[in-house]
């Protein structure tokens, strides 16, 4: 071959290669800043298109959300070179994402058979099964951690499932395994906190929930759980603090207002107790006997027996079988009314309904008080 012609061919080939390299670099830059359309335009100018070009086109179309175009380019790459591992993984994940589970399953099954110790392939199979509500999903998640004991996503799936099935000790154990590798994994911290909470290990739950707040993951749910945990630990100040924060997330939560009202009553702040209990009553559209009872007890503690009696009556109107309301109504009437017969009748109303099936301690107290009142009546005659 003529030396000049040979040199010319080499020069043209090198120029084309340099042009393609330049176009790929430009496309990569455009993709990196989120200009996916620009990246696609650059890549489409190249002819012929190499595997590298089709891989980049697939990635850019996927980023744009035009999944069929992405799938077409992944297929072109894999038809020419079935062993391109990264393209196969990306293709399988996209198929799973758009609900093409059968083909996605086939891809990751082949990969898992070829690379049995690769935890990611078993995890992806687990996700595919999970999306189809296939109970074997957990088998794949357990297989994942058999090859990678610190696999964060698989440990989360396992511990979450254990928590849902009330296997709290095991949920605690698996969440801890993940947290050993990554102590700031918020998902696993949440599972650990809830596992402790369900086991009534409130000190541990507080520590885990507080870490979530430190990580910027605070929510109504977390602050409500913290409020309850602090209440169980007798730390009323912190309980009030977290229930109050929970109300900042959702100020229309009747249950939170109810609990805050009860805690304020226990601390002696009856004004705030009244405010929150009234809010709970206004907001709640179900049976209100518990809220009315709490408010009545608050008024009783402040010796406002008239208001207490009003709300005991409201509680009993909502639920005539509320034993505590019926008994406490009698004690409030005992303190409010001067007439002994009236006072006795309230206790008798309680016994008429609950003497055969009620709380033995309350029944005993009511009977003793009736006996005392009858002795007073006898002395007055």
pLDDT recorded at residue 51: 85
Chain-centre distance for alpha carbon 167: 17
- Indicate whether 273 pLDDT > 80: yes
d(CA 213, CA 235): 18
Mean pLDDT estimate for the chain? 92
Give the CA count within 13 Å in the CB-facing half-sphere of 142.
7
Higher pLDDT, 375 or 142: 142
Structure token pair of residue 268 = 């002696």
For the chain, which residues make up each domain, given as ranges? 150-233
d(CA 226, CA 197): 9
pLDDT recorded at residue 331: 96
pLDDT in tens, 187-241: 999 999 999 999 999 999 999 999 999 999 999 999 999 999 999 999 999 999 9
Q: What is the DSSP string of 197-262?
A: HHTT-HHHHHHHHHHHHHTT---HHHHHHHHHHHHHTT-HHHHHHHHHHHHHH-TT-HHHHHHHHH
Contact 31, 59 (CB under 8 A): yes
Nearest to 241 by CA among 268, 254, 260: 260
pLDDT recorded at residue 6: 42
E strand or H helix at 300, and its extent? helix 289-301
Contact 295, 265 (CB under 8 A): no
pLDDT recorded at residue 369: 94
Who contacts 292 (Cβ-Cβ below 8 Å, separation ≥6)? 281, 311, 312, 314, 315, 318, 325
Contact 96, 124 (CB under 8 A): yes
- Indicate whether 11 pLDDT > 70: no
pTM of the model: 0.75
Mean pLDDT within 157-166: 97
pLDDT in tens, 34-86: 998 988 888 888 888 888 889 899 899 999 999 999 999 999 999 999 989 99
pLDDT in tens, 291-315: 999 999 999 999 999 999 999 999 9
pLDDT in tens, 348-379: 999 999 999 999 999 999 999 999 999 888 88
Who contacts 304 (Cβ-Cβ below 8 Å, separation ≥6)? none
- Indicate whether 17 pLDDT > 50: no
- Indicate whether 263 pLDDT > 50: yes
Contact 169, 199 (CB under 8 A): yes
pLDDT recorded at residue 341: 92
Contact 298, 310 (CB under 8 A): no
- Indicate whether 21 pLDDT > 80: no
Record: fold of 150-233? 1.25.40
E strand or H helix at 25, and its extent? helix 3-32
pLDDT in tens, 173-197: 999 999 999 999 999 999 999 999 9
């Amino acid at each position: 071959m003529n030396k000049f012609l040979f040199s010319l061919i080499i020069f043209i080939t090198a120029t084309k290669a340099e042009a393609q390299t330049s176009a790929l670099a430009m496309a990569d830059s455009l993709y990196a800043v989120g200009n996916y359309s620009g990246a696609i335009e650059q890549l489409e100018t190249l002819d012929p298109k190499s595997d590298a070009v089709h891989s980049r086109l697939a990635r850019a179309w996927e980023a744009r959300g035009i999944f069929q175009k992405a799938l077409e380019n992944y297929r072109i790459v894999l038809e020419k070179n079935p062993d391109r591992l990264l393209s196969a993984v990306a293709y399988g994940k996209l198929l799973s994402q758009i609900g093409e589970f059968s083909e996605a399953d086939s891809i990751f099954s082949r990969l898992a058979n070829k690379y049995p110790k690769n935890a990611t392939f078993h995890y992806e199979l687990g996700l595919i099964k999970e999306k189809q509500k296939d109970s074997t999903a957990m088998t794949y998640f357990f297989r994942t951690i058999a090859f990678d004991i610190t696999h964060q996503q698989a440990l989360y799936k396992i511990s979450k499932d254990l928590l849902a099935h009330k296997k709290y000790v095991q949920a605690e154990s698996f969440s801890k395994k993940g947290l050993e590798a990554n102590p700031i994994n918020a998902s696993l911290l949440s599972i650990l906190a809830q596992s402790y909470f369900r086991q009534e290990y409130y000190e541990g739950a507080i520590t885990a929930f507080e870490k979530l707040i430190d990580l910027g993951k605070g929510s109504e749910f977390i602050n409500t759980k913290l409020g309850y945990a602090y209440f169980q630990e007798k730390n009323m100040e912190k309980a009030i603090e977290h229930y109050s924060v929970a109300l900042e997330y959702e100020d229309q939560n009747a249950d939170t207002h109810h609990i805050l009202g009860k805690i304020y009553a226990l601390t002696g702040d009856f004004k705030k107790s009244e405010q929150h209990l009234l809010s709970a009553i206004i907001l709640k559209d179900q049976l209100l006997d518990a809220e009315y009872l709490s408010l009545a007890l608050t008024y009783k503690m402040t010796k406002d027996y008239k208001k207490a009696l009003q709300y005991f009556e409201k509680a009993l109107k909502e639920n005539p079988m509320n034993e505590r309301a019926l008994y406490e109504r009698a004690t409030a009437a005992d303190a409010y009314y001067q007439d002994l017969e009236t006072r006795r009748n309230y206790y008798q109303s309680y016994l008429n309904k609950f003497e055969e099936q009620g709380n033995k301690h309350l029944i005993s107290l009511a009977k003793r008080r009736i006996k005392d009142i009858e002795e007073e009546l006898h002395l007055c005659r």
